[in-house]
Amino acid sequence: MNKPDFNAVCPLPISQYPHVLMAHGGGGTLMHRLLEDVFGKAFSNPILDTRHDSAQFTVPAGRLAMTTDSYVVRPIFFPGGDIGSMAVHGTVNDLAMSGARPMYLSCGFIIEEGLPMETLWRVVCSMRDAAKICGVQIVTGDTKVVDKGKGDGLFINTTGIGVIEHEQKILPQNAQPGDAVIVSGDLGRHGMAIMAVREGLEFETTIKSDSAPVHEPVLELLNNGIEIHCLRDLTRGGLASALNEIAEAAGVKIGIDENSIPVREDVHAACEMLGFDPLHVANEGRFIAFVAPKDSDRALQILRCHDVSAGAVLAGKVAEKHMPLVTLKSAIGASRILDMPSGEQLPRIC
């Protein structure tokens, strides 16, 4: 079956080699052409264009934030995004969780021999566009080609540097009793969009990944003086993992209300079908904010003015200093533990 094409294609700048060869990572002319015509062309900026071994740039005085993440998503192109845009959004979002303004990215490509050049170019274009939208520059990078069978098409690592322009202490350890727990929008879209196109599990749906940058609403919260104690993006493991990690770090009990958490109907249906809990499913454009209770309403107002966080809700609060625990008020009003998912999410039998 042909996979649907989710992304527009830009013209490929080098066409004499339709597939990536080992020589494209070998340090010779082929590699030089790949770097110049693909990466250099797409990501061009004054820092990268120096073609030095390391990027040089000036940063404002004060604190910096730095993060790294590797992207191995399958399939490479999925409804709502691809490995390239995700590699930008994911790292930008990790920086945003410190309240940092994202500035520079590095990117490392590990390419399996035989990857269609067209595929690589589409991913690179997607990264270029995502970086432009996020206002970040890709200033350094690396490419390795591995033997056929020794990789899975394409892996990308990005490292990000951002500037912290606020004085707040945004850390998981800083979640405090009384804090309002705000969820920035509906949950579970990325995970279920991927599930729907995974080999062997295909089902018909229009669910698209929520992959998107979230730094703008976060920076606006800070610019408006919202007292933020902790931020966390809701990627693998979903809301359940994020809340448990914070409960653990801060030594607190967090209570949330299942009825308050938005889950789109199609996502809910797919989760029911496969036996998944939407609170365990991955997102790529959602975060939680622990804010001082006095600022909770204002924070919600600000978040709701941005498309990416228009669906923000108050989901619960930090109850007390306690043995780390997350409790959930269930749909029928009873209370239970909300645990981290154990291992990989596997579809249930019946």
Q: What are phi and psi of 90, to 5 degrees?
A: -60, -45
CB of 94 to another protein, least distance (A): 26
> Exactly one of 259, 297, 301, 305 binds another protein (CB under 8 A); which one?
259
* Residue closer to another protein, measured from CB, 206 or 342: 342
CB of 233 to another protein, least distance (A): 24
Asked if 119 and 83 touch (Cβ cutoff 8 Å), the reply is: no
* Binding flag, residue 275, another protein (CB under 8 A): yes
Pairing of strands 137-146, 100-112: parallel
* Residue closer to another protein, measured from CB, 154 or 274: 274
Kind plus residue range of the DSSP H or E element containing 220: helix 215-223
If binding means CB under 8 A, how many residues of this protein chain bind another protein?
28
Which among 11-19, 123-131, 173-181, 324-332 is the span making contact with another protein, rule CB under 8 A?
324-332
Round to whole Å and give the CA distance between 192 and 37: 35
x/- contact string, 167-206, with another protein (CB under 8 A)? ---------------------------------xx-----
Concatenated DSSP letters for 250-318? HTEEEEEEGGGS---HHHHHHHHHHT--GGGS--SS-EEEEE-GGGHHHHHHHHHTSGGGTT-EEEEEE
Which among 77-85, 241-249, 270-278, 286-294 is the span making contact with another protein, rule CB under 8 A?
270-278
* Binding flag, residue 325, another protein (CB under 8 A): yes
CB of 199 to another protein, least distance (A): 9
* Binding flag, residue 61, another protein (CB under 8 A): no
> Exactly one of 47, 64, 269, 319 binds another protein (CB under 8 A); which one?
269
x/- contact string, 232-251, with another protein (CB under 8 A)? --------------------
CB of 346 to another protein, least distance (A): 3
At 244, the amino acid letter reads N
β-pair partners for 321? 252
* Binding flag, residue 342, another protein (CB under 8 A): yes
* Binding flag, residue 347, another protein (CB under 8 A): yes
Query: Going by C-beta distance under 8 Å and a sequence separation of 6 or more, which residues neighbour residue 122?
Result: 7, 9, 10, 77, 82, 84
Asked if 72 and 208 touch (Cβ cutoff 8 Å), the reply is: no
Which among 118-126, 286-294, 301-309, 325-333 is the span making contact with another protein, rule CB under 8 A?
325-333
Which among 55-63, 75-83, 269-277, 299-307 is the span making contact with another protein, rule CB under 8 A?
269-277
What are the percentages of helix, strand and coil residues in the chain, rounded to 5? 35, 25, 40
* Residue closer to another protein, measured from CB, 18 or 275: 275
Q: Which residue shows structure tokens 């060869």?
A: 21
Which among 3-11, 154-162, 241-249, 323-331 is the span making contact with another protein, rule CB under 8 A?
323-331
The DSSP code for 19 is B
Question: What number of H helices and E strands is found in the chain?
Answer: 9, 13
At 334, the amino acid letter reads A
User: Under the rule (CB under 8 A), what is the footprint of another protein?
Assistant: 200-201, 259, 265, 268-269, 272, 274-275, 323, 325, 330-337, 339, 342-344, 346-350
